């Protein structure tokens, strides 16, 4: 129920600890509000509760042996304390924070960390723990913890600092993986003049991708390229180049850009080409055949980068486009099933 305040020290005082009820802040003035809003505000944390404990340790004096301790206890809360509602305002403990930081470190998102953590709490079969914010924070608290953790561990999410941090990480990555064939590069996004002369280009070839180029024969014969987005707040598309093998699909390279135009795709793929090892595409230097989505910009960009490659449409995307066209209302195709008489 209590939380710490600042220590107050004086000449004679060695240590002073002041603990107060977390409902002690002044209640908001409620005037001319609807009944619903009034009820909501009455249930808020701030209740002007007078409950507190003050512990003072005085410095040893000649007349006394050892320390003198003064404890003042005022335990008259002005609200109910044995209910879940009182527990939901407790501050989150350091131990709870650290458990959540561990979950984020293991790759959990705020919601999956919340689910994992709460499920473990349920196994303890103490329902009071679930209502206690000190042990079980709300999902909004977990999002705040996640944002704090991400800023400290992964850097900021926008602006010049982001690119400076990204470049530092890429330099470190290139230094660590240079003997294994792993390489990455980034081109900073710069839209200050209103033109898209400097789009974002992040190209990555990992040590595994290098090995696929070297050892997998299909890498020189047939590759697949597709883009996905919605991975970040800016919706930057990510292109993955992969090939097939007896073990399934294997990656050959990854590019993230800020746009999907022909020139930018060509520029992004050229960045990636420079990262590839000398034995790229099973020592052929270019893929023989490329299977893509039905995107004219993507296909033109790829043709510019690898002119000798033959481009084919992916059957999955072909059927998807066909069904979209058939079901689109502007094409006026009758969708009601027709039964033969």
What whole-number distance in Å separates Cα of residue 146 and Cα of residue 137?
12
For the CB of residue 22, give the shortest distance to Zn ion in the complex, in Å: 7
In eight-state DSSP terms, residue 90 is: S
What whole-number distance in Å separates Cα of residue 141 and Cα of residue 147?
10
Q: Is 168 helix (H, G, I), strand (E, B) or coil?
A: helix
Applying CB under 5 A, which of residues 20, 23, 108, 183 lies at the interface with Zn ion? 23
Q: Which of residues 57-86 bind Zn ion (CB under 5 A)?
A: 77
By rule CB under 5 A, what string of x and - marks binding of each residue 25-64 to Zn ion? Answer: ------------------------x-x-------------
Size of the site for Zn ion (CB under 5 A): 5
By CB under 5 A, tell whether 317 contacts Zn ion. no
Judged by CB, which is closer to Zn ion: 55, or 68?
55
By CB under 5 A, tell whether 21 contacts Zn ion. yes
Outline where the chain has alpha helix (H): 35-42, 84-87, 94-105, 110-123, 127-131, 139-154, 159-177, 207-215, 218-221, 262-275, 280-283, 296-305, 315-327
Is residue 226 within a helix (H) or strand (E), and if so which, with residue range?
A: strand 222-228
What whole-number distance in Å separates Cα of residue 70 and Cα of residue 282?
80
Judged by CB, which is closer to Zn ion: 48, or 147?
48
What whole-number distance in Å separates Cα of residue 217 and Cα of residue 244?
9
For the CB of residue 78, give the shortest distance to Zn ion in the complex, in Å: 6
Q: Which residues contact 215 (CB under 8 A, 6 or more apart)?
A: none
Judged by CB, which is closer to Zn ion: 85, or 165?
85
By CB under 5 A, tell whether 108 contacts Zn ion. no
Judged by CB, which is closer to Zn ion: 88, or 150?
88
For the CB of residue 88, give the shortest distance to Zn ion in the complex, in Å: 14
Judged by CB, which is closer to Zn ion: 52, or 321?
52
For the CB of residue 74, give the shortest distance to Zn ion in the complex, in Å: 10
Strands 238-243, 310-313: pairing is: unpaired
What whole-number distance in Å separates Cα of residue 74 and Cα of residue 53?
6
By CB under 5 A, tell whether 284 contacts Zn ion. no
For the CB of residue 190, give the shortest distance to Zn ion in the complex, in Å: 55
For the CB of residue 75, give the shortest distance to Zn ion in the complex, in Å: 9
Return residues touching Zn ion (CB under 5 A): 21, 23, 49, 51, 77
């Amino acid at each position: 129920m209590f939380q710490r305040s600042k220590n107050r020290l004086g000449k004679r005082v060695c240590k002073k600890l002041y603990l107060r009820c977390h409902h002690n802040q002044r209640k908001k003035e409620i005037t001319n509000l609807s009944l619903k809003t009034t009820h909501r505000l009455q249930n808020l944390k701030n209740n002007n509760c007078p409950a507190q404990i003050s512990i003072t340790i005085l410095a040893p004096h000649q007349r006394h042996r050892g320390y003198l301790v003064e404890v003042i206890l005022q335990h008259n809360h002005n609200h109910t304390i044995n209910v879940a509602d009182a527990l939901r305002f407790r501050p989150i403990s350091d131990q709870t924070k650290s458990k959540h930081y561990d979950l984020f470190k293991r790759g959990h998102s705020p919601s999956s960390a919340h689910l994992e953590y709460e499920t473990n709490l349920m196994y303890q079969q103490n329902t009071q723990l679930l209502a206690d914010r000190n042990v079980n924070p709300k999902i909004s608290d977990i999002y705040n913890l996640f944002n704090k953790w991400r800023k400290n561990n992964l850097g900021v999410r926008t602006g010049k600092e982001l690119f400076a941090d990204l470049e530092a990480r890429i330099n470190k990555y290139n230094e660590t993986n240079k003997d294994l064939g792993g390489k990455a590069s980034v081109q900073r996004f710069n839209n200050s003049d209103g033109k898209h002369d400097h789009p974002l280009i992040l190209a990555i070839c990992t040590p595994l991708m290098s090995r696929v180029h070297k050892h997998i024969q299909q890498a020189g014969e047939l590759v697949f390229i597709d883009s996905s987005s919605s991975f970040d707040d800016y919706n930057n598309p990510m292109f993955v180049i992969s090939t097939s093998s007896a073990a399934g699909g294997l990656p050959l390279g990854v590019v993230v850009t800020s746009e999907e135009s022909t020139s930018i795709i060509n520029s992004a793929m050229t960045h990636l080409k420079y990262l590839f090892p000398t034995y790229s595409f099973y020592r052929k230097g270019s893929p023989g055949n490329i299977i893509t989505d039905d995107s004219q910009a993507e296909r033109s960009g790829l043709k510019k980068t690898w002119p000798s490659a033959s481009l084919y449409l992916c059957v999955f995307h072909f059927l998807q486009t066909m069904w979209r066209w058939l079901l689109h209302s502007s094409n006026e195709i009758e969708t009601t099933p027709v039964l033969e008489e």
